[in-house]
C-alpha cells in the first residue's frame, strides 16, 4: 500500500542510555536496525537523518524551566528530583538532554517528512517516549517525542490528528498534552491501570468532547482478546474523527515475554496490529502515517523482530513471518549480548479473533472493558456504543 516510507535514524540515537542495569537498554534499537538491515528491509525505505530538537521546539510541550533543569542534569550528571531525574526509573546521566533532544528531533523529522510530502509514512523506532510530562520526566521518558510531533503538526496547520498508542502502558503524557484539545484524538490500549504503571487510563478519562479514549484491558489478555478490543474501538473512532494524519506508538511490551507487564500478545498478534494501523492510515488519513517505537524490554527475543515487522509494514513489503532470521544477525546478537537469538520472524501463532459485531459477552472481562470504553466515548462522537 505504501508508495514511499522513510526511517529516521542516526547511530547517536543509542546514546539515550540510563545505564547497564536499566531495562530500557539502547541495544534493543541497535539490534532492530541490524535485523532490518540484514533482512533487506532497509533497502525498501529511505533512510533520513535528524538533528536535536531545539529549545523552542521542545517548548511546544515542555516548560522552559524543565528544559533548563534537564540541561543542568545533562552537564553535571547530578540528580534533580523535582524534574523527575535521578530516580530508579529515570536515572540522571551526563548528556541526557542531548540524547533526549535527538530522539525528539527524530520524531520531528518524521513528522516533517510526512507533512511536507517527502514520504507517505515515516518511522522512528527510537521514539515513543509517551510518559514524559510538561515539567517532569516519567516512566523512562524525558522529552515526549510523539506529543512534540503532534504539536509541530498543529503548528503547521493540521486541523485534526489522531494518535493511537498500543504500548502496554497508558500513553498518559500524550493524553495530558492534548486532553482539552479537540483537534487531537488520543486512543490508548493498555493493561488496566489497576495492575500496571502509571495508574491512569480509565475509560472515564474522556477529554474534550470524547477525544481521549482509553481501553483498559485485563492482565492476561492475549492476541484474540486484544485484537477484538482494537477493532471494536479504534477503526470506528478514527474513521469518524477523519484525521489528516495518523500518529501511532508501538511499544511492544504487550508481548507475553515482556518482563515488566502482564499482557500475553505474541509477535504475530503485534504484527497484525501494525497491518491494521497501516490500512487505517490509508482509509482514514490519506495514507499519512507517522510511527514511533516505545516500550519493550525483552531486548533480544521481541523488540528487534517486532519493530523490523513495523518498518517492513510501513515500507509496504511485509516480512513473511516464517522467514528465518539471518545467521549473521544471530551471531551479532551473541557477540553483542551473549544471548541466543530467535530463529524465525514468528512466534508461530495465528492471531485470529471474533469481531464484536457478533455480540458481546457481559461475563467476559475483555468485553466488559471494551463496552466501558464504547459507552464512555462513542455517544460523544455520534456513534452507537452497542455492537
Percentage, residues of the chain above pLDDT 90:
99
Cell of 314: 510501513
Per-residue pLDDT band for 2 (boundaries 50, 70, 90) equals low
DSSP conformation letters of 169-237: S--HHHHHHTTT-TTEEEEEEEE-TTTSTT----TT---GGG-EEEEEEPTT-BHHHHHHHHHHHHHHH
23-38 pLDDT, tens digit each: 999 999 999 999 999 9
Q: Is 131 in the active site?
A: yes
44-65 pLDDT, tens digit each: 999 999 999 999 999 999 999 9
What pLDDT sits at residue 208?
85
The answer to whether the beta carbons of residues 215 and 369 sit under 8 Å apart is: yes
The full length of the chain comes to: 387
Q: Does the pLDDT of residue 281 top 70, yes or no?
A: yes
> Active site residue: 62, 97, 130, 131, which one?
131
- What kind and span of H or E run contains 372? helix 365-377
- Cα 336 to its chain centre, rounded Å, is 25
Give me the helices (H) in 219-357, please. Answer: 223-241, 267-284, 303-315, 327-337
113-152 pLDDT, tens digit each: 999 999 999 999 999 999 999 999 999 999 999 999 999 9
Give the chain's end-to-end CA distance (angstroms, integer). 29
pTM for the model stands at: 0.98
What pLDDT sits at residue 3?
63
Task: Give me Rg for the CA atoms of the chain.
Answer: 19
313-340 pLDDT, tens digit each: 999 999 999 999 999 999 999 999 999 9
66-120 pLDDT, tens digit each: 999 999 999 999 999 999 999 999 999 999 999 999 999 999 999 999 999 999 9
Q: Does the pLDDT of residue 18 top 60, yes or no?
A: yes
Average pLDDT (211-237) is 98
Mean pLDDT (the chain) is 98
In the block, which residue shows the cell 495492575?
195
147-206 pLDDT, tens digit each: 999 999 999 999 999 999 999 999 999 999 999 999 999 999 999 999 999 999 999 999
Q: Does the pLDDT of residue 374 top 80, yes or no?
A: yes
What is the C-alpha separation between 224 and 176, in angstroms, rounded? Answer: 30
Q: Does the pLDDT of residue 254 top 60, yes or no?
A: yes
Crossing angle of helices 267-284 and 223-241, in 10° steps, is 10
Amino acid at each position: 500500500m505504501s508508495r514511499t516510507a522513510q526511517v529516521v535514524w542516526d547511530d547517536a540515537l543509542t546514546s539515550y542510555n540510563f545505564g547497564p542495569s536499566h531495562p530500557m537498554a539502547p541495544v534493543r534499537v541497535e539490534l532492530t536496525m541490524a535485523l532490518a538491515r540484514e533482512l533487506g528491509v532497509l533497502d525498501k525505505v529511505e533512510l533520513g537523518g535528524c538533528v536535536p530538537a531545539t529549545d523552542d521546539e521542545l517548548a511546544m510541550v515542555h516548560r522552559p524551566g524543565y528544559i533548563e533543569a534537564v540541561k543542568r542534569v545533562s552537564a553535571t550528571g547530578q540528580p534533580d528530583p523535582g524534574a523527575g531525574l535521578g530516580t530508579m526509573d529515570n536515572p540522571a546521566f551526563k548528556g541526557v538532554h542531548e540524547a533526549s533532544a535527538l530522539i525528539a528531533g527524530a520524531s520531528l523529522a518524521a513528522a516533517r517528512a510526512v507533512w511536507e510530502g517527502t514520504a507517505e509514512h515515516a518511522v522512528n523506532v527510537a521514539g515513543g517516549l509517551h510518559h514524559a510530562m510538561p515539567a517532569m520526566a516519567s516512566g523512562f521518558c524525558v522529552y515526549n517525542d510523539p506529543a512534540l510531533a503532534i504539536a509541530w503538526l498543529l503548528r503547521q496547520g493540521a486541523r485534526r490528528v489522531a494518535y493511537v498508542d498500543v504500548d502496554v502502558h497508558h500513553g498518559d503524557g500524550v493524553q495530558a498534552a492534548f486532553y482539552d484539545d479537540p483537534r487531537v484524538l488520543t486512543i490508548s490500549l493498555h493493561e488496566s491501570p489497576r495492575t500496571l504503571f502509571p495508574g491512569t487510563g480509565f475509560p472515564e478519562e474522556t477529554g474534550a468532547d470524547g477525544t481521549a479514549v482509553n481501553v483498559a484491558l485485563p492482565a492476561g489478555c492475549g492476541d484474540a482478546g486484544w485484537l477484538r478490543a482494537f477493532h471494536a474501538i479504534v477503526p470506528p473512532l478514527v474513521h469518524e474523527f477523519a484525521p489528516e494524519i495518523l500518529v501511532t506508538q508501538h511499544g511492544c511490551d504487550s508481548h507475553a515475554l515482556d518482563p515488566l507487564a502482564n499482557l500475553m500478545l505474541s509477535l504475530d498478534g503485534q504484527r497484525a496490529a501494525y497491518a491494521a494501523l497501516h490500512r487505517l492510515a490509508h482509509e482514514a488519513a490519506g495514507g499519512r502515517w507517522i510511527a514511533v517505537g516505545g516500550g519493550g524490554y525483552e531486548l533480544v527475543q521481541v523488540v528487534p523482530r517486532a519493530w523490523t515487522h513495523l518498518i517492513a509494514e510501513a515500507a509496504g513489503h511485509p516480512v513473511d513471518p516464517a522467514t528465518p532470521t539471518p545467521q549473521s544477525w544471530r551471531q551479532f546478537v551473541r557477540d553483542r549480548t551473549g544471548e541466543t537469538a530467535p530463529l524465525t520472524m514468528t512466534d508461530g501463532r495465528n492471531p485470529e479473533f471474533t469481531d464484536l459485531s457478533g455480540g458481546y459477552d457481559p461475563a467476559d472481562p475483555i468485553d466488559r472493558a471494551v463496552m466501558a470504553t464504547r459507552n464512555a466515548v462513542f455517544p460523544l462522537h455520534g456513534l452507537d456504543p452497542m455492537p
